[in-house]
Chain A
């Protein structure tokens, strides 16, 4: 089993489904760990609350918080397929595919598994390039505000750095993938 590939899948799932990492968990009291899961699927959390919320947003620009799954603007929550289909495909659909392929690929110790991990690596590079090049180009259509190329680098948040770490993890997983003859 490719442990790096498995970790990559888990980290990707965290980035796709959570709004923040709850820290200081307090068992016994309910709380919310993902607003979009609560809004769209009614998934709430009856047994856990947290004292600190470690942010997972990719970019914070004024009161806009941009995630892999969508955007929070003020108190309103929007998924990418409501805002822009291209961004929905590039950020959400590809991320889900990365999570699935890296978990399946980590279990397969053959060339197919290695190809699945390679897909995750390439997909991560595409997501990062889309974020730093694609979003500033179409920022008016996607976010309703004009982004400069430099502005995006001034407003990056922890989610983006985790994305880069995941990309490095995908590279390591690809290079270390065990092959059984």
Chain B
């Protein structure tokens, strides 16, 4: 049986991995922005940064070994998307699905810890700033985690 929640989670993870923003109505400046958080003039995404709203940069393009952290973050979110979609299709063995969902949850936890530490360092003097810093990308990652946990519970029931 196809698990729709898992597939939706996978598609959101893919969107987080490659998209910066989707214009809904350019005239009214209605935009869905996938940034995780903002620090001064830097908008942070899973794939890299945007400086001053127009210059894109990714640490993945740096030389080895400076690119390792950025690569692990990007490959993690791509893997989460792949795992959630592949494990949610029909004809997958339940045991394999369970294992894949657990791996995906672990990767999501890794991303949360990593970005959580970075955000915490920025707001250490004023914790109330957290809601001004984090953005839609962070909330979408939480949604992916929730969808992942729900799908895992559904698989366990099966």
Contact = CB atoms under 8 A, between A and B. Distances in A.
Interface of A: 1, 3, 7, 21-28, 50-52, 54-55
B47 A24 contact: yes
A56 to B, nearest CB: 12
Contacts of A24: 18-20, 45, 47-48, 50, 56, 58
B22 A27 contact: yes
Query: Which secondary structure characterizes the binding site on chain A?
Result: strand
B21 A52 contact: no
B22 A51 contact: no
A3 B89 CA distance: 10
Interface centre among B20, B21, B45, B50 (most CB of A within 10 A): B20
Contacts of B45: 24
Interface in B1-60: 18-23, 26, 45, 47-48, 50, 55-58, 60
B48 A52 contact: yes
Contacts of B18: 21-25
Contact of B20 (A7, A21, A25, A55): A25
Given A24-B19, A24-B56, A52 B86 contact: no
B61 interface: yes
A28 B23 contact: yes
Interface of B: 18-23, 26, 45, 47-48, 50, 55-58, 60-61, 82, 86, 89, 91
Given A23-B48, A25-B18, A50 B23 contact: no
Contacts of A54: 58, 60-61
A178 to B, nearest CB: 9
Contacts of B22: 27-28
7 contacts: A1-B91, A22-B18, A24-B47, A26-B20, A51-B50, A52-B48, A54-B61
Contacts of A26: 20-21, 23
Given A3-B86, A24-B45, A52 B61 contact: yes
B61 A55 contact: yes
A51 B86 contact: no
B39 to A, nearest CB: 17
A79 to B, nearest CB: 26
Counting from the closest, the 9 A-B pairs by CB-CB distance are A51-B56, A28-B23, A24-B20, A23-B47, A52-B58, A27-B22, A25-B19, A52-B56, A52-B48
Contact of A51 (B20, B23, B60, B82): B20
